[in-house]
A = this chain, B = another copy of it.
Amino acid sequence: MTPADLESTIAHMGAAARAASAAMAKASPAPKDGALRALAQWLRSEGAALAAANAEDIAAAQKAGLAGPMVDRLKLTPDAIETVAAGCEQIAAMPDPIGEITELRQRPSGIRVGRMRVPLGVFGMIYESRPNVTIEAASLAIKSGNACILRGGSEAIRSNRALWRLVQQALVDAGLPPDAVQLVQTTDRAAVGHLIASPDAVDVIIPRGGKSLIERISREAKVPVIKHLDGNCHVYVDAGADLEMALKLVDNAKTQKYSPCNAAESLLVHAAVAPAFLPRIGAVFAAKRVEMRVEPACKPLLRGIKGAEVVDATEDDWSQEYLAPIISIRIVDGLDTAIAHINRYGSHHTDAIVTNNHVHAMRFLREVDSASVMVNASTRFADGFEYGLGAEIGISTDKLHARGPVGLEGLTSLKWVVLGEGETRG
């Protein structure tokens, strides 16, 4: 495809998505939920075709020498297909967010003023590897009455095409416009550049992938981006905390899984409990081979623990998202220092305090400037499903519009409705 052809292809997709979005915005719940249930059925009945397409992607990836974990992420197992099919049915069963009017109040002028929840219009989804995102994004678009343009990783293109054909079929089954969910068919990277520079066609871009992808998209986009940068999450163990609870929470936040963005990367311990707590958590980390990068004051307290890997933290460590069995550790002299450290070095994603002090709990909630702030809970709970959103299109580290886990609500906006009986302004 020539550059001009590519640009015109993306422009055509955008115009078609814009037209389809008008039909989706006024669709009632029945066809939208019908399409989601039909999609679940197609996913289950077309397992063989999906497996064949996926096998081709995997063979190509192996031939190209992709690393093992990358190939794993490509895999569309029968279990993974059942998970996305069940997800479609769960989303179908959720209340429809669109058209709801809230806060309708009469004003002194006589007019009644309220707000109606409506779709954003068209979103662009840019993602890597995992083909299940194709179905997750399509199903959330359908439920929220939006159109979407999907751009998956080139290594998953055959799987994504096979999945997308089922979405097309389900939309047609339900009498909805198939252009409501489009897939960029070319693997040319310039397609992303056109997509993120088309404010007429796309209302918001949602990238899912590594930090460098998201930074590049944010820098070059001419449309708003719901962006998820890094998750440098902290747990602060306060003076007087229940140390059994702290042990359990810090262990879970760091070691239950190392790769998620809501895993803890940094531990702050109040000086009053450090002598009792650090040797115990140090032993847990040593047993799980978690490297500890610590400030000098921690070292005497971690001495002599069998198998412990303790190294000096550098200034850089306080800002690191390791996504690995590594944790930075610092002793602080109080709540103020802990909050200041988190607001300075953290990534405003998810941070937790372990405390029995009510005032400290409330101050931490209010003063830590992060999308999720927690008291006596594991940072690993920062997740759309755990929060009860029913589904998650992504996680936002921005403050405007959507913050933290983004579900259906993040794909909608509130417009003002005014009901009058002929009122004029004097």
Contact surface of A with B, Cβ cutoff 8 Å:
22, 25-26, 99, 105, 107, 109, 111, 113, 116, 118, 120-121, 203-204, 224, 242, 245, 248-249, 251-252, 256, 343, 352, 361, 363, 365-367, 369-378, 380-382, 386-388, 398-401, 403-405, 413-426
What's the dominant secondary structure at chain A's contact region?
mixed
B-side contacts of A375, CB under 8 Å:
417-420
B-side contacts of A422, CB under 8 Å:
242, 245, 248-249, 376-377
Is A111 touching B372 in the complex (CB atoms < 8 A)? no
> Of B366, B367, B403, B425, which contacts A256 at CB under 8 A?
B425
B-side contacts of A26, CB under 8 Å:
363, 366-367
Q: How far is the CA of A109 from the CA of B203 in the complex (A)?
A: 35
CB of A337, distance to nearest CB on chain B (Å): 14
Q: Given A386-B107, A386-B111, A424-B378: A365 and B401 within 8 A (CB)?
A: no
Total copies of the chain: 2
Is A387 touching B242 in the complex (CB atoms < 8 A)? no
CB of A175, distance to nearest CB on chain B (Å): 18
Q: Given A366-B118, A400-B413, A416-B387: A423 and B381 within 8 A (CB)?
A: yes
Q: Given A375-B418, A387-B113, A399-B120: A425 and B381 within 8 A (CB)?
A: yes
CB of A284, distance to nearest CB on chain B (Å): 13
Is B377 touching A420 in the complex (CB atoms < 8 A)? yes
B-side contacts of A363, CB under 8 Å:
26
B-side contacts of A425, CB under 8 Å:
252, 256, 378, 380-381, 386
Is B387 touching A99 in the complex (CB atoms < 8 A)? no
B-side contacts of A421, CB under 8 Å:
376
Q: How far is the CA of A375 from the CA of B110 in the complex (A)?
A: 13
- Name 11 A/B residue pairs within 8 A (Cβ), A-sorted: A116-B365, A204-B399, A252-B424, A372-B417, A376-B420, A380-B425, A381-B420, A382-B416, A400-B413, A401-B401, A404-B415
